Amino acid sequence: MKRKVFLKTLGFGSASLLTSSGILSSCMSGMNHGDAVVPQVNAGLFINPLKIPKTVSGNTSLVAQNTSEALLSASKVNVLGYGDGILGPTIRVKKGDNVNINLINKLSDHSNIHWHGLKIPADMDGHPDQMVMTNETFNYKFSINQQAGLNWYHPHLHESTAEQVTQGLAGLFIVESDQEKSLALPSGEFEVPLIIQDKRMASDGTIKYNPTMMEIMSGYLGENILVNGTHKPFLDVSTRFYRFRILNGSSARIYNLSLSNSAEFYVIGSDGGILPLPEKVKNVILGSGERLDILVDFSTMKVGEMVFLKSETFFTMGNAQGNQPFEIMAFNVKRLESDTFKLPNALIPVPKLPSTSNKRVFTLIMDMMSSEGMHKINGKVYKSGRIDETVSLGSTELWEFDNSTGDEAHPMHVHGVMFHVVSRTGGRNAILPHEKGWKDTILVAPGEKVQVSMTFEIKGKFVFHCHNLEHEDDGMMLNFEVK
Ligand SMILES: [Cu+2]
Protein backbone atom coordinates (compact mmCIF):
# COMPACT_ATOMS: atom_id res chain seq x y z
CA MET A 1 0.00 0.00 0.00
CA LYS A 2 1.24 3.46 -0.72
CA ARG A 3 2.22 5.15 2.52
CA LYS A 4 -0.05 8.12 1.90
CA VAL A 5 -2.96 5.74 1.34
CA PHE A 6 -2.06 3.87 4.49
CA LEU A 7 -1.92 7.08 6.53
CA LYS A 8 -5.37 7.93 5.25
CA THR A 9 -6.68 4.63 6.53
CA LEU A 10 -5.24 5.50 9.93
CA GLY A 11 -7.12 8.78 9.76
CA PHE A 12 -4.16 11.10 9.19
CA GLY A 13 -3.72 13.32 6.20
CA SER A 14 -0.03 13.53 5.37
CA ALA A 15 -0.14 17.28 6.11
CA SER A 16 -1.33 16.67 9.64
CA LEU A 17 1.22 13.95 10.24
CA LEU A 18 4.04 16.19 11.38
CA THR A 19 1.88 17.84 14.01
CA SER A 20 0.20 14.67 15.12
CA SER A 21 3.25 12.64 16.05
CA GLY A 22 1.88 12.31 19.56
CA ILE A 23 -1.25 10.65 18.23
CA LEU A 24 0.80 8.54 15.86
CA SER A 25 3.14 7.33 18.57
CA SER A 26 0.31 6.47 20.95
CA CYS A 27 -1.38 4.63 18.10
CA MET A 28 1.75 2.61 17.46
CA SER A 29 2.94 2.09 21.01
CA GLY A 30 3.16 -1.54 21.96
CA MET A 31 3.19 -2.46 18.30
CA ASN A 32 5.88 -5.00 17.70
CA HIS A 33 6.29 -8.24 15.85
CA GLY A 34 4.87 -10.17 18.76
CA ASP A 35 1.58 -8.36 18.16
CA ALA A 36 1.53 -9.02 14.43
CA VAL A 37 -1.34 -11.23 13.38
CA VAL A 38 0.38 -13.92 11.37
CA PRO A 39 -2.04 -15.97 9.31
CA GLN A 40 -1.56 -19.71 9.58
CA VAL A 41 -1.03 -21.58 6.33
CA ASN A 42 -4.17 -23.53 5.41
CA ALA A 43 -4.16 -27.31 5.61
CA GLY A 44 -5.69 -29.42 2.84
CA LEU A 45 -5.08 -32.18 0.34
CA PHE A 46 -2.64 -31.75 -2.52
CA ILE A 47 -4.99 -32.56 -5.36
CA ASN A 48 -4.20 -30.04 -8.09
CA PRO A 49 -1.75 -30.93 -10.88
CA LEU A 50 1.18 -28.50 -10.83
CA LYS A 51 0.80 -25.90 -13.57
CA ILE A 52 3.93 -25.24 -15.61
CA PRO A 53 4.27 -21.80 -17.23
CA LYS A 54 4.76 -22.02 -20.98
CA THR A 55 8.26 -21.36 -22.33
CA VAL A 56 9.01 -18.63 -24.88
CA SER A 57 12.14 -17.27 -26.54
CA GLY A 58 13.77 -13.89 -25.95
CA ASN A 59 11.85 -12.43 -28.89
CA THR A 60 8.37 -11.99 -27.57
CA SER A 61 5.71 -9.64 -26.29
CA LEU A 62 4.48 -9.54 -22.73
CA VAL A 63 1.05 -8.00 -22.24
CA ALA A 64 0.63 -6.86 -18.64
CA GLN A 65 -3.10 -7.13 -18.19
CA ASN A 66 -6.13 -7.96 -16.12
CA THR A 67 -6.87 -11.60 -16.72
CA SER A 68 -8.36 -14.51 -14.78
CA GLU A 69 -7.30 -17.79 -13.25
CA ALA A 70 -8.93 -20.50 -11.14
CA LEU A 71 -7.01 -20.42 -7.87
CA LEU A 72 -8.94 -21.82 -4.91
CA SER A 73 -11.89 -23.36 -6.73
CA ALA A 74 -12.90 -24.19 -10.29
CA SER A 75 -14.30 -20.70 -10.82
CA LYS A 76 -11.92 -18.10 -12.13
CA VAL A 77 -11.07 -14.91 -10.28
CA ASN A 78 -9.49 -11.69 -11.53
CA VAL A 79 -5.69 -11.66 -11.40
CA LEU A 80 -2.87 -9.87 -13.19
CA GLY A 81 -0.64 -11.64 -15.69
CA TYR A 82 1.67 -11.21 -18.66
CA GLY A 83 -0.72 -13.06 -20.93
CA ASP A 84 -3.60 -15.41 -20.33
CA GLY A 85 -3.79 -16.23 -16.61
CA ILE A 86 -1.62 -15.49 -13.59
CA LEU A 87 2.18 -14.97 -13.87
CA GLY A 88 4.07 -14.85 -17.17
CA PRO A 89 5.79 -17.30 -19.49
CA THR A 90 9.25 -18.65 -18.74
CA ILE A 91 11.66 -16.86 -21.06
CA ARG A 92 14.51 -19.16 -22.04
CA VAL A 93 17.60 -17.79 -23.79
CA LYS A 94 21.21 -18.75 -24.36
CA LYS A 95 24.31 -16.83 -23.38
CA GLY A 96 25.07 -14.54 -26.34
CA ASP A 97 21.44 -14.19 -27.44
CA ASN A 98 19.91 -10.85 -28.30
CA VAL A 99 16.69 -10.25 -26.44
CA ASN A 100 13.88 -8.13 -27.86
CA ILE A 101 10.76 -8.00 -25.70
CA ASN A 102 7.84 -5.59 -25.94
CA LEU A 103 6.05 -4.83 -22.70
CA ILE A 104 2.52 -3.78 -23.64
CA ASN A 105 0.86 -2.20 -20.63
CA LYS A 106 -2.87 -2.91 -20.65
CA LEU A 107 -3.19 -2.31 -16.90
CA SER A 108 -5.12 0.65 -15.52
CA ASP A 109 -1.91 1.67 -13.70
CA HIS A 110 1.63 2.32 -14.87
CA SER A 111 4.12 -0.54 -14.73
CA ASN A 112 7.54 -1.60 -16.00
CA ILE A 113 9.79 -4.67 -15.92
CA HIS A 114 12.89 -5.25 -13.85
CA TRP A 115 14.94 -8.18 -15.15
CA HIS A 116 16.06 -9.46 -11.76
CA GLY A 117 19.51 -11.03 -12.11
CA LEU A 118 20.32 -9.85 -15.62
CA LYS A 119 23.41 -7.73 -16.15
CA ILE A 120 22.04 -5.35 -18.77
CA PRO A 121 22.28 -1.61 -19.53
CA ALA A 122 20.79 0.70 -16.90
CA ASP A 123 18.14 2.06 -19.30
CA MET A 124 16.79 -1.49 -19.76
CA ASP A 125 16.87 -2.48 -16.08
CA GLY A 126 13.41 -1.29 -15.09
CA HIS A 127 14.52 1.46 -12.71
CA PRO A 128 11.52 2.85 -10.77
CA ASP A 129 11.88 6.09 -12.78
CA GLN A 130 11.35 4.21 -16.06
CA MET A 131 7.59 3.89 -16.20
CA VAL A 132 5.46 2.44 -18.94
CA MET A 133 2.10 4.18 -18.81
CA THR A 134 -1.29 2.60 -19.49
CA ASN A 135 -1.68 1.57 -23.16
CA GLU A 136 2.00 2.30 -23.84
CA THR A 137 4.54 -0.19 -25.15
CA PHE A 138 8.20 -0.30 -24.16
CA ASN A 139 10.77 -2.23 -26.13
CA TYR A 140 13.32 -3.97 -23.90
CA LYS A 141 16.37 -4.76 -26.01
CA PHE A 142 19.60 -6.19 -24.61
CA SER A 143 22.07 -9.00 -25.10
CA ILE A 144 22.84 -11.79 -22.67
CA ASN A 145 26.47 -11.76 -21.55
CA GLN A 146 26.34 -13.77 -18.38
CA GLN A 147 26.58 -17.29 -17.06
CA ALA A 148 23.68 -19.73 -17.13
CA GLY A 149 21.21 -19.28 -14.31
CA LEU A 150 17.66 -18.73 -13.12
CA ASN A 151 16.62 -15.09 -13.18
CA TRP A 152 13.16 -13.56 -13.09
CA TYR A 153 11.16 -10.54 -14.12
CA HIS A 154 8.61 -8.40 -12.33
CA PRO A 155 7.38 -4.79 -12.09
CA HIS A 156 9.57 -2.36 -10.16
CA LEU A 157 7.60 0.71 -9.15
CA HIS A 158 8.36 2.76 -6.12
CA GLU A 159 5.50 2.23 -3.61
CA SER A 160 3.48 -0.37 -5.51
CA THR A 161 5.78 -3.21 -6.58
CA ALA A 162 4.30 -5.55 -3.96
CA GLU A 163 0.72 -5.12 -5.12
CA GLN A 164 1.47 -5.83 -8.80
CA VAL A 165 3.73 -8.80 -8.02
CA THR A 166 1.27 -10.26 -5.51
CA GLN A 167 -1.63 -9.91 -7.97
CA GLY A 168 0.32 -12.02 -10.45
CA LEU A 169 2.98 -10.10 -12.37
CA ALA A 170 6.15 -12.23 -12.30
CA GLY A 171 7.87 -14.78 -14.50
CA LEU A 172 11.11 -16.72 -14.87
CA PHE A 173 14.01 -15.86 -17.16
CA ILE A 174 16.39 -18.77 -17.69
CA VAL A 175 19.82 -18.31 -19.23
CA GLU A 176 21.46 -21.44 -20.67
CA SER A 177 25.05 -21.95 -21.80
CA ASP A 178 27.15 -24.64 -23.48
CA GLN A 179 29.15 -24.97 -20.28
CA GLU A 180 25.98 -25.76 -18.36
CA LYS A 181 24.82 -28.18 -21.11
CA SER A 182 28.06 -30.15 -20.69
CA LEU A 183 26.93 -31.08 -17.16
CA ALA A 184 24.00 -33.01 -18.72
CA LEU A 185 21.70 -31.99 -15.88
CA PRO A 186 18.13 -33.36 -15.89
CA SER A 187 16.17 -31.51 -18.58
CA GLY A 188 12.84 -31.50 -20.38
CA GLU A 189 10.10 -32.85 -18.12
CA PHE A 190 12.74 -33.54 -15.46
CA GLU A 191 13.65 -29.86 -15.10
CA VAL A 192 10.76 -28.24 -13.27
CA PRO A 193 10.33 -24.54 -12.44
CA LEU A 194 8.75 -23.80 -9.06
CA ILE A 195 7.61 -20.23 -8.35
CA ILE A 196 6.65 -20.29 -4.67
CA GLN A 197 4.36 -17.51 -3.48
CA ASP A 198 2.05 -17.00 -0.55
CA LYS A 199 -1.24 -15.20 -1.08
CA ARG A 200 -3.97 -13.91 1.15
CA MET A 201 -7.26 -14.70 -0.54
CA ALA A 202 -11.00 -14.25 -0.26
CA SER A 203 -12.97 -17.51 -0.10
CA ASP A 204 -13.42 -17.51 -3.89
CA GLY A 205 -9.65 -17.19 -4.42
CA THR A 206 -9.52 -13.45 -5.13
CA ILE A 207 -6.06 -12.24 -4.10
CA LYS A 208 -6.15 -9.53 -1.45
CA TYR A 209 -3.38 -7.04 -0.89
CA ASN A 210 -3.96 -4.50 1.86
CA PRO A 211 -1.17 -4.60 4.46
CA THR A 212 -1.63 -2.91 7.81
CA MET A 213 1.17 -0.89 9.35
CA MET A 214 2.21 -3.94 11.35
CA GLU A 215 2.38 -5.94 8.13
CA ILE A 216 4.49 -3.27 6.46
CA MET A 217 6.93 -4.01 9.27
CA SER A 218 6.62 -7.76 9.58
CA GLY A 219 5.78 -8.47 5.94
CA TYR A 220 2.40 -9.30 4.42
CA LEU A 221 2.06 -13.06 4.80
CA GLY A 222 -0.61 -15.13 3.07
CA GLU A 223 -2.38 -18.23 4.32
CA ASN A 224 -2.32 -19.91 0.91
CA ILE A 225 0.87 -21.16 -0.70
CA LEU A 226 0.83 -21.33 -4.50
CA VAL A 227 3.42 -22.94 -6.75
CA ASN A 228 3.32 -21.63 -10.33
CA GLY A 229 -0.11 -20.25 -9.46
CA THR A 230 -1.33 -23.70 -8.35
CA HIS A 231 -2.92 -24.10 -4.94
CA LYS A 232 -2.12 -27.40 -3.15
CA PRO A 233 -0.20 -28.78 -6.14
CA PHE A 234 1.15 -32.23 -6.81
CA LEU A 235 3.63 -33.55 -9.36
CA ASP A 236 3.91 -37.19 -10.43
CA VAL A 237 7.57 -38.19 -10.56
CA SER A 238 9.59 -41.28 -11.42
CA THR A 239 12.45 -42.87 -9.49
CA ARG A 240 15.24 -40.70 -10.86
CA PHE A 241 16.93 -37.31 -10.45
CA TYR A 242 14.90 -34.14 -11.02
CA ARG A 243 16.16 -30.60 -11.29
CA PHE A 244 13.95 -28.02 -9.56
CA ARG A 245 14.47 -24.35 -10.36
CA ILE A 246 12.98 -22.52 -7.44
CA LEU A 247 12.07 -18.85 -7.07
CA ASN A 248 10.82 -17.37 -3.84
CA GLY A 249 8.43 -14.94 -5.54
CA SER A 250 6.61 -14.01 -2.33
CA SER A 251 6.44 -10.42 -1.18
CA ALA A 252 7.84 -11.17 2.27
CA ARG A 253 7.53 -14.82 3.28
CA ILE A 254 10.77 -16.68 3.93
CA TYR A 255 10.79 -20.47 3.48
CA ASN A 256 12.97 -23.09 5.14
CA LEU A 257 12.79 -25.60 2.30
CA SER A 258 13.16 -29.30 3.04
CA LEU A 259 11.72 -32.67 2.05
CA SER A 260 9.16 -34.28 4.35
CA ASN A 261 11.11 -37.57 4.51
CA SER A 262 14.20 -35.63 5.68
CA ALA A 263 16.05 -36.76 2.56
CA GLU A 264 19.13 -34.82 1.56
CA PHE A 265 19.13 -32.96 -1.73
CA TYR A 266 21.81 -31.18 -3.72
CA VAL A 267 22.05 -27.44 -4.21
CA ILE A 268 23.69 -26.91 -7.61
CA GLY A 269 22.92 -23.25 -8.16
CA SER A 270 21.64 -20.05 -6.65
CA ASP A 271 20.65 -16.58 -7.90
CA GLY A 272 23.46 -16.05 -10.36
CA GLY A 273 24.09 -19.50 -11.74
CA ILE A 274 25.70 -22.84 -11.06
CA LEU A 275 27.82 -23.42 -7.93
CA PRO A 276 31.41 -24.71 -8.17
CA LEU A 277 30.47 -27.89 -6.29
CA PRO A 278 27.17 -29.60 -5.52
CA GLU A 279 26.23 -28.93 -1.89
CA LYS A 280 24.40 -31.71 -0.05
CA VAL A 281 21.85 -30.23 2.36
CA LYS A 282 18.69 -31.09 4.29
CA ASN A 283 17.23 -27.61 4.23
CA VAL A 284 17.74 -24.14 2.77
CA ILE A 285 16.31 -20.85 4.06
CA LEU A 286 15.23 -18.81 1.03
CA GLY A 287 14.22 -15.14 1.22
CA SER A 288 12.06 -13.12 -1.18
CA GLY A 289 13.67 -12.74 -4.58
CA GLU A 290 16.26 -15.49 -4.02
CA ARG A 291 16.54 -18.48 -6.36
CA LEU A 292 17.67 -22.02 -5.80
CA ASP A 293 18.67 -24.71 -8.28
CA ILE A 294 18.43 -28.17 -6.70
CA LEU A 295 18.63 -31.83 -7.63
CA VAL A 296 16.37 -34.31 -5.86
CA ASP A 297 17.03 -38.04 -6.22
CA PHE A 298 13.69 -39.85 -6.13
CA SER A 299 15.42 -43.20 -6.79
CA THR A 300 15.83 -43.52 -3.03
CA MET A 301 12.03 -43.59 -2.74
CA LYS A 302 9.50 -46.30 -3.53
CA VAL A 303 6.77 -46.23 -6.13
CA GLY A 304 3.57 -45.29 -4.32
CA GLU A 305 5.38 -43.07 -1.84
CA MET A 306 4.40 -39.43 -1.44
CA VAL A 307 6.93 -36.87 -0.29
CA PHE A 308 6.35 -33.18 0.29
CA LEU A 309 8.41 -30.12 -0.37
CA LYS A 310 7.82 -28.29 2.86
CA SER A 311 8.89 -25.34 4.93
CA GLU A 312 10.26 -26.18 8.37
CA THR A 313 10.06 -23.81 11.32
CA PHE A 314 12.90 -21.37 11.90
CA PHE A 315 13.51 -18.76 14.54
CA THR A 316 16.22 -16.54 13.11
CA MET A 317 14.22 -14.16 10.91
CA GLY A 318 12.10 -12.07 13.29
CA ASN A 319 8.99 -13.06 15.21
CA ALA A 320 6.53 -13.07 12.31
CA GLN A 321 8.42 -15.57 10.16
CA GLY A 322 8.95 -19.31 10.49
CA ASN A 323 6.50 -20.03 13.31
CA GLN A 324 4.72 -22.83 11.51
CA PRO A 325 5.87 -25.84 9.48
CA PHE A 326 3.76 -26.40 6.36
CA GLU A 327 3.73 -28.40 3.15
CA ILE A 328 4.24 -26.56 -0.14
CA MET A 329 3.68 -29.28 -2.74
CA ALA A 330 3.48 -33.05 -3.04
CA PHE A 331 5.60 -35.37 -5.16
CA ASN A 332 3.84 -38.65 -5.96
CA VAL A 333 6.41 -41.29 -6.86
CA LYS A 334 4.52 -42.99 -9.70
CA ARG A 335 6.91 -44.71 -12.09
CA LEU A 336 9.98 -46.89 -11.85
CA GLU A 337 12.66 -45.54 -14.12
CA SER A 338 16.36 -46.18 -14.42
CA ASP A 339 18.42 -43.03 -14.52
CA THR A 340 21.60 -42.49 -16.47
CA PHE A 341 22.31 -39.15 -14.79
CA LYS A 342 25.39 -39.11 -12.60
CA LEU A 343 25.90 -36.22 -10.22
CA PRO A 344 29.17 -34.55 -11.26
CA ASN A 345 31.81 -34.10 -8.54
CA ALA A 346 32.44 -30.56 -9.74
CA LEU A 347 30.11 -28.14 -11.51
CA ILE A 348 31.11 -24.73 -12.92
CA PRO A 349 34.03 -22.83 -11.37
CA VAL A 350 33.14 -19.38 -10.07
CA PRO A 351 35.91 -16.89 -10.86
CA LYS A 352 37.50 -15.04 -7.95
CA LEU A 353 36.89 -11.30 -7.69
CA PRO A 354 39.81 -8.94 -7.06
CA SER A 355 40.27 -8.30 -3.35
CA THR A 356 39.47 -4.76 -2.28
CA SER A 357 39.54 -2.45 0.70
CA ASN A 358 36.90 -0.14 -0.85
CA LYS A 359 34.13 -0.62 1.65
CA ARG A 360 30.71 0.94 2.09
CA VAL A 361 28.53 0.19 5.11
CA PHE A 362 24.74 0.26 4.87
CA THR A 363 22.95 0.24 8.19
CA LEU A 364 19.46 -1.20 8.03
CA ILE A 365 17.05 0.26 10.53
CA MET A 366 13.39 0.63 11.27
CA ASP A 367 12.28 4.05 12.46
CA MET A 368 8.66 3.94 13.55
CA MET A 369 8.60 7.66 14.27
CA SER A 370 9.60 8.53 10.73
CA SER A 371 7.37 10.92 8.83
CA GLU A 372 8.53 9.20 5.63
CA GLY A 373 8.92 5.42 5.34
CA MET A 374 9.85 3.42 8.42
CA HIS A 375 12.47 1.23 6.75
CA LYS A 376 15.70 3.09 6.16
CA ILE A 377 19.15 2.48 4.77
CA ASN A 378 21.75 4.72 6.42
CA GLY A 379 18.92 6.84 7.80
CA LYS A 380 17.38 7.48 4.38
CA VAL A 381 14.29 6.39 2.51
CA TYR A 382 14.12 6.26 -1.28
CA LYS A 383 13.97 9.51 -3.18
CA SER A 384 13.65 9.53 -6.93
CA GLY A 385 16.37 11.59 -8.60
CA ARG A 386 18.70 11.64 -5.58
CA ILE A 387 21.95 9.74 -6.19
CA ASP A 388 22.92 8.20 -2.86
CA GLU A 389 26.14 6.47 -3.84
CA THR A 390 28.56 7.00 -6.72
CA VAL A 391 30.71 4.08 -7.80
CA SER A 392 33.61 4.01 -10.30
CA LEU A 393 33.04 1.95 -13.42
CA GLY A 394 35.18 -1.19 -13.28
CA SER A 395 35.87 -0.95 -9.56
CA THR A 396 35.40 -3.78 -7.09
CA GLU A 397 33.85 -2.90 -3.74
CA LEU A 398 32.85 -4.53 -0.49
CA TRP A 399 29.33 -3.61 0.63
CA GLU A 400 28.35 -4.41 4.17
CA PHE A 401 24.67 -4.71 5.09
CA ASP A 402 24.48 -4.15 8.83
CA ASN A 403 21.32 -5.49 10.46
CA SER A 404 23.01 -5.98 13.81
CA THR A 405 20.46 -3.87 15.68
CA GLY A 406 17.40 -4.88 13.64
CA ASP A 407 14.69 -7.36 14.47
CA GLU A 408 13.44 -8.07 10.94
CA ALA A 409 15.08 -9.97 8.09
CA HIS A 410 16.06 -8.02 4.97
CA PRO A 411 16.81 -9.80 1.67
CA MET A 412 19.05 -7.13 0.13
CA HIS A 413 19.15 -6.96 -3.68
CA VAL A 414 21.61 -4.97 -5.78
CA HIS A 415 20.73 -4.23 -9.42
CA GLY A 416 23.19 -4.35 -12.30
CA VAL A 417 25.70 -6.70 -10.65
CA MET A 418 26.23 -10.20 -9.34
CA PHE A 419 28.13 -10.45 -6.06
CA HIS A 420 30.02 -12.92 -3.92
CA VAL A 421 29.19 -13.34 -0.25
CA VAL A 422 32.41 -12.61 1.64
CA SER A 423 31.35 -12.92 5.28
CA ARG A 424 28.44 -13.08 7.67
CA THR A 425 29.02 -12.17 11.30
CA GLY A 426 26.45 -12.36 14.08
CA GLY A 427 23.23 -14.33 13.73
CA ARG A 428 23.87 -17.43 11.63
CA ASN A 429 27.57 -16.56 11.48
CA ALA A 430 28.37 -18.47 8.28
CA ILE A 431 28.28 -18.39 4.52
CA LEU A 432 25.64 -20.98 3.72
CA PRO A 433 25.90 -23.71 1.04
CA HIS A 434 23.60 -21.91 -1.44
CA GLU A 435 25.59 -18.70 -1.00
CA LYS A 436 28.82 -20.09 -2.45
CA GLY A 437 28.21 -18.87 -6.01
CA TRP A 438 27.05 -15.69 -7.74
CA LYS A 439 24.26 -13.95 -5.85
CA ASP A 440 22.19 -10.81 -6.38
CA THR A 441 19.99 -11.05 -3.27
CA ILE A 442 21.29 -11.83 0.20
CA LEU A 443 19.21 -12.54 3.26
CA VAL A 444 20.45 -10.45 6.19
CA ALA A 445 18.84 -11.77 9.37
CA PRO A 446 18.39 -9.80 12.59
CA GLY A 447 21.74 -9.51 14.36
CA GLU A 448 23.76 -10.09 11.19
CA LYS A 449 26.31 -8.11 9.24
CA VAL A 450 26.85 -9.51 5.76
CA GLN A 451 29.61 -8.39 3.42
CA VAL A 452 29.36 -8.90 -0.33
CA SER A 453 31.94 -8.14 -2.97
CA MET A 454 31.17 -7.06 -6.52
CA THR A 455 32.67 -5.47 -9.60
CA PHE A 456 30.62 -2.72 -11.23
CA GLU A 457 30.79 -3.39 -14.97
CA ILE A 458 27.77 -1.45 -16.21
CA LYS A 459 27.52 2.30 -16.05
CA GLY A 460 24.39 4.21 -15.22
CA LYS A 461 21.85 4.66 -12.47
CA PHE A 462 20.62 1.59 -10.58
CA VAL A 463 18.89 0.89 -7.29
CA PHE A 464 19.60 -1.44 -4.41
CA HIS A 465 16.91 -2.30 -1.94
CA CYS A 466 15.29 -4.75 0.41
CA HIS A 467 13.34 -7.41 -1.51
CA ASN A 468 10.79 -7.75 1.24
CA LEU A 469 8.37 -5.89 -1.04
CA GLU A 470 6.52 -4.23 1.83
CA HIS A 471 9.84 -2.83 3.02
CA GLU A 472 10.81 -1.81 -0.51
CA ASP A 473 7.50 -0.03 -1.09
CA ASP A 474 7.97 1.66 2.29
CA GLY A 475 11.15 3.23 0.90
CA MET A 476 13.92 0.78 1.81
CA MET A 477 15.77 1.49 -1.44
CA LEU A 478 18.56 3.82 -2.58
CA ASN A 479 19.99 4.91 -5.93
CA PHE A 480 23.59 4.37 -6.94
CA GLU A 481 25.31 5.57 -10.07
CA VAL A 482 28.20 3.82 -11.76
CA LYS A 483 30.37 6.22 -13.76
CU1 LIG B 1 13.55 -5.43 4.54
Q: How far is the CA of 102 from the centre of ligand 1 (A)?
A: 31
**How many angstroms is it from 286 CA to the middle of ligand 1?**
14
CA 473 to centroid of ligand 1, rounded, Å:
10
Give distance in angstroms: CA of 366 to centre of ligand 1.
9
Within a domain: 59:
no
Asked if the structure places residue 61 within a domain, the reply is no
CA of 468 to the centre of ligand 1 (A): 5
User: CATH code at 376?
Assistant: 2.60.40.420
Ligand 1 center–CA 466 separation, angstroms: 5
Res. 36: pLDDT tops 70: no
Q: Dump pLDDT digits (tens) for 84-128.
A: 999 999 999 999 999 999 999 999 999 999 999 999 999 999 999
In a domain, 219, yes or no: no
Quote the percentage of the chain above a pLDDT of 90. 87
Q: How far apart are CA 88 and CA 68, in angstroms?
A: 13
Q: Is 408 exposed, middle or buried (0-12, 13-18, 19+ CB in 10 A)?
A: buried
Rounded to the nearest angstrom, the distance between the alpha carbon of 219 and the centre of ligand 1 is 8
Shortest CA distance to 194 belongs to which of 323, 342, 68, 87?
87
The answer to whether residue 399 is domain-embedded is yes
| DSSP 8-class letter at 407 | S
Asked if residue 112 belongs to a domain, the reply is: no
pLDDT above 80 (res 77): yes
* Residue 355: DSSP 8-state: P
Are 344 and 295 contacting, i.e. CB atoms less than 8 angstroms apart? no
pLDDT tens-digit series, residues 182-221: 999 999 999 999 999 999 999 999 999 999 988 998 899 9
pLDDT in the model for residue 345:
95
> What pLDDT sits at residue 23?
30
Q: What is the pLDDT of residues 146-176, one digit of tens each?
A: 999 999 999 999 888 999 999 999 999 999 9
Q: Report angle CA 475, 290, 189 to the nearest 5 degrees.
A: 140
Residue 259 located in a structural domain: no
Beta bridge partners of 120: none
Q: Which domain holds residue 9?
A: 3-30
Q: Hey, how many other C-beta atoms are within 10 angstroms of the C-beta on 171?
A: 24
Rounded to an integer, the average pLDDT of 57-76 is: 96
**Number of other residues whose CB lies within 10 A of the CB of residue 79:** 24
In this structure, is residue 371 part of a structural domain?
yes
Collapsing DSSP to helix, strand or coil, 265 comes out as strand
Sorted by sequence, the CB contacts under 8 Å of residue 286 that are 6+ apart come out as 246, 248, 254, 255, 256, 257, 292, 434, 443
For residue 309, which amino acid is it? L
User: What distance in angstroms lies between residue 98's CA and the mean position of ligand 1's atoms?
Assistant: 34
Q: Give CA 112 to chain center in angstroms.
A: 17
What spacing in Å lies between the alpha carbon of 187 and ligand 1's midpoint?
35
Residue 207 resides in a domain: no
CA of 274 to the centre of ligand 1 (A): 26
Task: Domain count for the chain, please give it.
Answer: 2
Report pLDDT for 1: 39
Question: Ligand 1 centroid vs 410 CA: distance in angstroms?
Answer: 4
Q: How far separated are the first and last CA of the chain, in Å rounded?
A: 34
Q: Does the complex come out with an ipTM higher than 0.90? A: no
